[in-house]
Amino acid sequence: MTTSSKPWSARLAPYRRPDNKRAILEIAYTLVPFVALWVLVQWMLEAGMVTTRIAALLMLLPAAGLMVRLFIIQHDCGHGSMFSSRRANDWTGRLLGIVTMTPYEYWRRQHAAHHASSGNLDRRGMGDIDTLTVEEYLNKGFFGRMMYRLYRHPVVMFGLGPSYLFLFRHRLPIGSMNEGRRPWISALATNAGIALMSAILIYLTSWSTFLIIQIPIVVIGASIGVWMFYVQHQFDETHWDRDPNWTHENAALHGSSYYDLPKPLMWITGNIGIHHVHHLSSRIPFHKLPQVVKDFPELQTVGRLTLMESLRCVKLTLWDEKKGELISFRELRKGNALA
């Protein structure tokens, strides 16, 4: 891949320095348009004209996109890459967690486990899309297979699942309930913040206006976010290993995609599509990721995935250890009469 003898962690070290001024600007670039769209949609809904209301509902889509970008900023705070101050990162992350409906400390721990084990077949289950091997799937009974198929169905994976995750599951520290007070404090404090924010918005508008605007923004934003997370690891060229063959650098380069989206979509998703670089060095601020790819052309072809190509990733559901690739249920049926 590269003629340099330096590990990627060393080569990317100069990009890891946070830029406080740029961080504030990125938050402003995202939060101000988000609030403005929220207010504009409210005004258009109350205008009374049918065409104006339809236009208002269409504007919920970019608002949801901006919520995704706010989530990426919160995500960078969790990696300590947004500000040079840990306190600034943590408090920004906590406050944004109220908007994104994601408890900051609880989510940060789950996501750190994802980075520590992504692409490792022996350490699945923390912050990942649940993925079974062919053998594991075949060893399950009828009910187990049916539940996995249901979980992997696009309507659940990208529709019902994300809504459940952000609206309901994040209200409790699922998976961390027995790990002391911090996950509980994170979840319950975020819930209190959400309740306060909702009460203020309802007071300033109305119950119906709040529900018509806020719930679709969260639902659409959640679906976009889960889709992005999905295609960053569930794609044709991805690779999984078992211990002791698993290494962090190999998992980043071969288990994470470079989702090469059009520039407007790359901006609104906080460049998180440059995911192989993010996994190589998670302390790089999201706004520096495009520069990394520009400075290291060899990274431009690693795991590259276009928008159209990504649509084919939906069918990939099982890891075939013999072939070393993700396959679909249909491919399994063709090769195995028991499936």
Alpha helix stretches (DSSP H) within the chain: 8-11, 20-46, 50-58, 60-78, 86-100, 104-117, 134-138, 142-152, 154-155, 161-167, 181-204, 207-231, 248-255, 263-268, 275-280, 289-295, 307-310, 329-335
Helical pair 86-100 and 20-46, crossing angle rounded to 10 deg: 20
CA distance 155 to 158: 6
Shortest CA distance to 126 belongs to which of 106, 145, 97?
Answer: 106
Tokens 């706004």 found at: 287
Q: List per-residue pLDDT tens for the chain, 339 residues long.
A: 445 668 998 999 999 999 999 999 999 999 999 999 999 999 998 877 778 888 988 999 999 999 999 999 999 999 999 999 999 999 999 999 999 999 999 999 999 999 999 999 999 877 789 999 999 999 999 999 999 999 999 999 999 999 999 999 999 998 888 888 899 999 999 999 999 999 999 999 999 999 999 999 999 999 999 999 999 999 999 999 999 999 999 999 999 999 999 999 999 999 999 999 999 999 999 999 999 999 999 999 999 999 999 999 999 999 999 999 999 999 999 876 555
Here the tokens at position 240 are 């999984």
Tokens of 35: 């609030």
